[in-house]
């Protein structure tokens, strides 16, 4: 899990993987992306949106928002 550093086991059917694509100044996809993995515990505890915002902010995706 990107937020907790826990391993996501095969039986964790609530876990999600999200790819965030990078775009250039013209808004075109640059064929690079960052993958975030969130374990089922984070998703079930309704912390997934907050966790994704923290990770994206740390990686610089939300610097202009």
pLDDT at 12 over 90: no
CATH number at residue 6: 3.30.1230.20
Which one-letter DSSP state was computed for residue 46?
A: T
Q: How far is CA 43 from CA 4, 23, 31, 38, in A?
A: 12, 27, 28, 7
Q: What's the whole-model pTM score?
A: 0.76
User: Residue 50 belongs to what domain range?
Assistant: 1-65
Q: Higher confidence at residue 11 or residue 46?
A: 11
Q: In the chain, which ranges are E strands?
A: 16-23, 29-38
Query: Domains in the chain: how many in total?
Result: 1
Taking the alpha carbons of 12, 39, 61, 46 in that order, is the dihedral positive or negative?
Answer: positive
């Amino acid at each position: 899990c990107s937020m907790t550093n826990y391993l996501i086991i095969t039986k964790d059917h609530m876990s999600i993987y999200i790819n965030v694509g990078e775009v250039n100044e013209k808004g075109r996809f640059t064929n690079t992306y960052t993958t975030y993995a969130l374990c089922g515990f984070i998703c079930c505890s309704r912390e997934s949106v907050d966790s994704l915002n923290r990770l994206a902010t740390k990686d610089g995706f939300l610097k202009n928002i």
